[in-house]
């Protein structure tokens, strides 16, 4: 009879750690998910349970089997695999459904799955009369129940139960930690036990630690730091569909039997390991995204609409900590290679292929960050506490394009009439003190057009440069529209042209309609430095004409400052020059704009003095475009130029 041997926990993790070192992972981490933990209880209301599962639950119904109540969950996909019951074989008869618990935000599709939880005996006993009298109509049962999620850290199991709200105190004992959430518990099985805890991806000290000496006998998991030897991880969260993983592999140019696929310990996610040396260009669109990448080492992609029921999000884990097989998760399941232990290293994927794949199924959440709206003014006098005072936001814009418009009088919705944007630069200014809140410069990658030689001679941006350094046009405009929503003024030299070209680009490369684009710009006041300075520069059209022509930007700049500016026809330098001209024209009283959203006074006699500087308030004009006020009076401080209004609002919310 042959002796059978059982591999110990220490031997198992040592084998895998040797394997990962052999493959080329530089840093191996040790995890003990049980370290310092009690059993953990989390209590949900049903409304909280909806939010917890990110709107994946469509509706909750109450059902009966015998004299016991069950709660049936219709979901758009298999949510957590922790509780699953065969609803049909359990002979559950649905007796009541609450309209208040129907999720109208999610479109119901064919991929509905059903799970169920049995209520506690006490809840059934408390409501036995309803069964006997068949009186379920108008029953707000969801207000009487809570969903309890109990985690046994010894067995590493999670169980759920429906309780009556009066039963919660039964779970109160010293062996249960009521403070930890499910996230805390699951994350405990992902955190490495190490002296080097600050930022796991920043330090290379993991590589210097003698990983063979870790306490592998008490380990629950093993991890690696992505980035060593250019090994990267595509982390797919909230996905139980292996068909989607196969589709992703095909987009990457990989075989569907690719060996570096890991099913995660939640049974609701996958890791795909690849080798990519260079970070795809133009993923970090703003400072917030750069900070997130620096601190966390990954970039997040949200699903496009057609994939929202397939996965929750994808993280491109460029240089961060990843849990590896055969680790145990906080859900009680194990990380495992789908096709067994790989025999070779992850395959090489180009940056372009990686980026096109991620853009095909999701969008970069770096586009979501950038909040410049409602810039509150805080450096004001003490009486400002009586008011909500916000500064206006001014966007100074300049474009380099593929050429000129065929007909300048044509509408922007004639997409064949207007050129394409090659480079867009802008500064965002504080209307209150003219501080530059943001400066940005973007070259956009050509899509369905080429940059003509005549334009290249002006701005110097070739097709090769634009394709190599340019941003994806759809991504940029999605990001830029969010900034436009915060803007009160657009300033440009030849603003009619720039604004129409910009509108046309939004029509080409976003899902916005003509009506939506017009609505967006209707709340923005357009200021043209070219038109405003005609009578200042007084440049004759020709020697035989008494009419003045529109000054070019360099002509206006030279008139105002007695010198030229460097690199004209580079939109970044042009926008800086435009800002200088705009501020100088404003200082000379040629251009007027509101520094702040108007401060609302009940009556003119309420306060004749400015709350900022004490200056006298005088009648004035304010071109503040975002508000529809029916003013009796518009006032401006004679000193600091803050605006006030006195009168009543046209809606019914607020009267003065």
Asked if 609 and 514 sit in the same domain, the reply is no
Highest-confidence range of 47-56, 480-489, 571-580, by mean pLDDT?
571-580
Structural domain includes residue 422: yes
- Does 249 share its domain with 335? yes
Q: Which of 142, 169, 188 is the last residue of a domain?
A: 188
Residue 371 lies inside a defined structural domain of this protein: no
pLDDT of residue 279: 83
Helix, strand or coil, per DSSP, at residue 18: helix
CATH number at residue 487: 3.30.420.10
Q: Is residue 432 assigned to a domain?
A: yes
Bridge partner residues of 548 (DSSP): 540
Residue 632: its pLDDT value, please?
A: 59
Q: Are residues 460 and 517 both part of a single domain?
A: yes
pLDDT digits (tens, 9 = 90+) for 424-476: 999 988 887 888 888 888 999 999 899 999 999 999 999 999 988 888 888 88
**Do residues 261 and 340 both lie within one domain?**
yes
Least confidently predicted of 138-147, 398-407, 449-458, 561-570: 138-147
% of the chain surpassing 90 pLDDT: 32
Range name among 76-85, 237-246, 255-264, 605-614 with the lowest pLDDT average:
76-85
154 and 22 fall within a common domain: no
368 falls within a domain: no
Q: What is the mean pLDDT of the chain?
A: 77
CB 301 within 8 Å of CB 316: yes
Residue 239: inside a domain: yes
Strands (DSSP E) contained in 178-268 are: 221-225, 231-237, 261-263
pLDDT at 386: 40
Specify which of 35-39, 327-331, 588-592, 647-651 reaches the highest per-range mean pLDDT. Answer: 588-592
pLDDT in tens, 27-54: 888 777 654 445 556 677 777 776 666 5
How many residues belong to the chain? 656
pLDDT at 226 > cutoff 70 = yes
646 and 541 in a common domain: no
| Long-range CB contacts for residues 166-170, cutoff 8 Å, separation at least 24 | 166/122, 167/120, 167/122, 167/123, 168/43
Which position has the higher pLDDT, 480 or 490? 490
Burial class (CB in 10 A: 0-12, 13-18, 19+), 138: exposed
- Check whether residue 480 and residue 617 sit in a common domain: no
- Tell me what pLDDT residue 116 has: 78
Report the alpha-carbon distance of residue 188 to residue 424 in Å, rounded: 46
Q: What is d(CA 626, CA 649) in angstroms, rounded to the nearest whole number?
A: 13
Between CA 421 and CA 412 the distance in angstroms is 14
Residues 138 and 168 in one domain: yes
Is pLDDT of 184 > 60?
no
- The confidence band for 487, taking pLDDT boundaries of 50, 70 and 90, is confident
Q: Are 39 and 150 in contact (CB under 8 A)?
A: yes
Strands 176-177 and 39-44: parallel
Tens-place pLDDT, residues 248-296: 999 999 999 999 999 998 888 999 999 999 887 666 666 556 666 777 7
Helix (H) or strand (E) holding 501: helix 495-509
- Predicted pLDDT of residue 136: 72
Structure token digits, residue 501: 């070209």
Whether residue 332 has pLDDT greater than 90: no
Q: Is residue 369 part of a domain?
A: no
Identify the H or E element spanning 317.
strand 313-317
Interatomic CA distance for residues 392 and 387, integer angstroms:
15
Q: Are residues 352 and 420 in the same domain?
A: no
| Together in a domain, 356 and 286 | yes
* Distance in angstroms (rounded) separating the CA atoms of residues 251 and 261: 15
Whether the Cβ atoms of residue 289 and residue 316 lie closer than 8 Å to each other: no
Task: Identify the pLDDT of residue 594.
Answer: 81
159-168 pLDDT per residue, tens: 777 777 776 6
* Residue range of the domain that includes 245: 9-31+194-363
Final residue of a structural domain among 136, 161, 188: 188
The domain boundary residue, chosen from 146, 171, 188? 188
Residues 88 and 21 in one domain: no
How many folded domains does the chain comprise? 4
What pLDDT sits at residue 387? 43
**372 within a domain of the structure (yes/no):** no
User: How far apart, in whole angstroms, are the C-alpha atoms of residue 565 and residue 563?
Assistant: 7
State residue 221's pLDDT score.
86
471 and 601 fall within a common domain: no
Query: H-type helices in 153-272, by residue range?
Result: 182-188, 205-208, 242-252
Q: Per the structure block, which two tokens stand in for 503?
A: 């509108």
Q: Indicate if the pLDDT at residue 625 is higher than 90.
A: no
**Long-range own/partner contacts, residues 563-571 (CB < 8 A, 24 or more apart):** 569/400, 569/458, 569/459, 569/460, 570/400, 570/423, 570/459, 570/460, 571/398, 571/399, 571/400, 571/423, 571/424, 571/425, 571/441, 571/459
Please indicate, yes or no, whether the overall pTM of this predicted structure exceeds 0.75: no
- Domain annotation covers residue 3: no
Q: Give the tens place of pLDDT for each residue, 69-116.
A: 888 877 766 545 445 554 555 566 666 665 445 554 444 455 677 777
């Amino acid at each position: 009879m042959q002796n059978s041997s059982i591999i110990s926990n220490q031997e198992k993790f040592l084998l895998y750690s040797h394997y990962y070192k052999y493959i080329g992972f530089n840093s191996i981490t040790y995890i003990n998910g049980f370290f310092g933990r009690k059993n953990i209880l989390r209590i949900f209301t049903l409304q909280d349970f909806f939010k917890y599962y990110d709107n994946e639950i469509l509706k909750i119904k109450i059902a009966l089997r015998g004299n016991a109540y069950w709660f049936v969950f219709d979901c758009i996909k298999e949510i957590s695999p922790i509780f699953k019951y065969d609803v049909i074989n359990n002979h559950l008869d649905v007796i009541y459904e609450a309209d208040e618990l129907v999720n109208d935000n999610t479109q119901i599709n064919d991929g509905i799955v059903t799970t169920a939880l049995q209520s506690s005996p006490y809840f059934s006993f408390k409501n036995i009369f309803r069964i006997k009298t068949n009186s379920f109509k108008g029953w707000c049962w969801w207000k009487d129940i809570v969903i309890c999620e109990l985690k046994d850290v010894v067995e590493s199991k999670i169980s759920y139960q429906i309780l009556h709200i009066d039963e919660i105190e039964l779970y109160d004992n010293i062996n249960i930690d009521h403070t930890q959430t499910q996230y805390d518990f699951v994350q405990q099985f992902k955190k490495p036990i190490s002296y080097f805890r600050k930022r796991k991806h920043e330090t290379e000290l993991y590589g210097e630690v003698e990983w063979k000496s870790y306490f592998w006998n008490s380990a629950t998991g093993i991890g690696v730091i992505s980035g060593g030897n250019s090994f990267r991880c595509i982390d797919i969260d909230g996905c139980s569909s292996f068909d989607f993983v196969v589709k992703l592999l095909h987009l990457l140019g990989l075989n569907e039997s690719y060996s570096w696929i890991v099913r995660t310990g939640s049974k609701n996610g996958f890791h795909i390991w690849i080798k990519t040396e260079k970070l795809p260009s133009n993923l970090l669109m703003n400072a917030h995204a750069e900070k997130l990448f620096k601190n966390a080492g990954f970039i997040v992609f949200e699903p496009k609409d057609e994939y929202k029921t397939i996965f929750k999000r994808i993280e491109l884990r460029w240089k961060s900590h990843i849990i590896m097989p055969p680790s145990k998760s906080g859900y009680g399941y194990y990380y495992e290679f789908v096709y067994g232990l790989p025999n070779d290293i992850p395959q090489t994927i180009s940056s372009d292929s990686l980026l096109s794949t991620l853009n095909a199924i999701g969008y970069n959440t770096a586009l979501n960050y950038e909040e410049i709206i409602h810039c509150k003014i805080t450096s004001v006098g003490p009486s400002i506490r009586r008011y909500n005072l916000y500064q206006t936001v001014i966007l100074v814009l300049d474009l380099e394009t593929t050429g000129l418009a065929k007909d300048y009088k044509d509408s922007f919705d004639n997409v064949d009439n207007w050129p394409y944007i090659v480079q867009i630069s802008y500064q965002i200014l504080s209307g209150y003190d003219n501080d530059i809140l943001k400066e940005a410069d973007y070259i956009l990658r050509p899509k369905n057009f080429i940059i003509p030689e005549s334009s290249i001679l002006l701005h110097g941006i070739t097709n090769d440069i634009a394709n190599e350094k340019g941003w994806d046009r759809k991504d940029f405009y999605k990001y830029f529209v969010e900034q436009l929503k915060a803007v009160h003024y657009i300033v440009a030299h030849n603003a009619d042209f720039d604004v129409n070209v910009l509108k046309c680009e939004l029509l080409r490369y976003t899902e916005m309609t003509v009506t939506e684009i017009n609505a967006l710009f209707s709340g923005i006041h357009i200021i043209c430095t070219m038109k405003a300075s005609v009578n200042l520069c007084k440049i004759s059209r020709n020697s035989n004409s008494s009419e003045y022509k529109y000054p070019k930007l360099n002509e206006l700049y030279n008139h105002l400052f007695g010198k030229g500016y460097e690199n004209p026809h580079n939109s970044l330098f042009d926008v800086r020059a435009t800002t200088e001209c705009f501020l100088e024209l404003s200082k000379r009283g040629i251009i007027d704009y509101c520094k702040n959203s108007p401060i609302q006074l009940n009556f003119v006699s309420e306060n004749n003095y400015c709350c900022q500087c004490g200056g006298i308030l005088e009648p004035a004009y304010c071109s503040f475009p975002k508000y529809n006020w029916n003013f009796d009076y518009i006032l401006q401080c004679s000193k600091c130029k803050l605006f006030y209004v006195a009168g009543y609002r046209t809606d019914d919310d607020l009267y003065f």
